[in-house]
Amino acid sequence: MSLISVRKTPRYDPALLRQAVEEHFAALEVEKDLAPGMKVLLKPNLLAARKPEQAVTTHPLLIQAVIDWLRDRGIRDITLADSPGGPYTEGRLRSVYAASGMDTLAGVKLNLDPEAAPVEQPRGKNCRRFDVIGPVRQADYIINLPKVKTHGMTVVSLGVKNLFGVVPGLGKPALHYRHPGWEDFAGMLLDLADLIAPAVTLVDGVLAMEGDGPSGGTPRELGYTFAGRDLFALDRFLAGAVMGLDPEGIPMIRQAGERGWGTEAPVLTGDALEEIPPFARPKTQDTNFTGYLPGFLRGPVQAAMTRIFRHRPKILREKCIGCGRCAESCPQGIITVTGGKAKIAPRGCISCYCCQEMCPVQAVK
């Protein structure tokens, strides 16, 4: 049985968030997992140096509520860690913590050590070895803290995609390079999620993002938090019941089902889920010419059409500030900065949209 806890959480109010965390963790019996001296790792979404109100990163007040809940139960060794986009350095970590409000958190250690090491994944189908940042490898217990967002490459950025942040810095573009197709990349993400295996996932859906996420989309008030132990069932539920997207049209969710993960109908507890208008899809995912075809033809034809009509990023020169974040994150190395403006070479793009994710001024269309 997959139990999913749903709580109406209309705003980032400390008292409301504390109550939501209490109710989520009581429903999932998280307290039974804990023991004195345990090392607990909090894994938020810290994609880039963005303010909380931009809906790019997990909100610090939700994380503080989790920290307080743990400390009330005697847990003192709590670390917050993620590897944002770009180089994995102490300076980059400090800038992201400051911008996202993580440097205001109390009772937690913010990871500043850019150390990582390879970890074998013997069950991997697409990838059998990952570089993983130190705090994740050393943790006894991992709480996954993603945000409800759309994503230009993976369609959604939820629990599974959030775990890509355990791969250090420029190791992420390397995995994009090794797994360039959307299907292959989705399989790699599933192998990584299976390896990391967070004990519980608590999702920030108070303020979500739709459209051209995970950083250039539109913030959207959703007003819920969600929690579950089955990461794959939770992602399927969020994509379908909450975001109004077809889970079978999302490669990592469909492939999880093919592996037998997350397909059981979940049992919901907590607050009723009100009717939610569907989320706006990323522009990279909104072209489908196959609705008139018989069902058995739609998949193969759409795959072929996607190759033919594949979206590619374009630099908006009037917005570009020449910072080079797109170039440093490009797995193919085809972006250069000349004369204070970025330029993408016409060949070699794999449509991973790392450049769009990392642009601080939304100058990538």
Q: What is the pTM of this model?
A: 0.88
274 CB-contact burial (10 Å; exposed 0-12 / middle 13-18 / buried 19+): exposed
CATH of domain 3-270: 3.40.50
Per the CB < 8 A criterion, the answer to whether 194 and 121 are in contact is yes
User: Residue 304's pLDDT is what?
Assistant: 61
Q: Out of 3.30.70.20, 3.30.1130.10, 3.40.50.620, 3.10.20.30, select the CATH number for domain 310-365.
A: 3.30.70.20
DSSP summary character for residue 9:
-
- Domain spans of the chain, in order of start: 3-270, 310-365
Fold: same for 3-270 and 310-365: no
Q: Return averaged pLDDT per consecutive 10 residues of the chain, 365 residues in all.
A: 96 98 98 97 97 98 98 98 95 97 98 97 98 98 98 96 96 94 95 98 98 96 98 98 96 97 97 97 67 58 59 88 90 90 88 86 89
Listed in sequence order, the DSSP H helices in the chain are 14-27, 60-72, 90-100, 134-138, 159-162, 171-178, 182-196, 231-237, 251-258, 295-308, 325-329, 354-358
Q: What angle do CA 168, 171, 163 make, to 5 degrees?
A: 55
b/e map 40-64, b = 16+ CB within 10 Å: bbbbbbbbbbbebeebbbbbbbbbb
CB 363 within 8 A of CB 313: no
Specify the pLDDT at position 60. Answer: 98
DSSP secondary structure of 97-158: HHHHTGGG--S-EEP----EEEEE-TT-SS-SEEEEEHHHHH-SEEEEE-EEEEETTTEEES
Q: How much is the pLDDT for 302?
A: 58
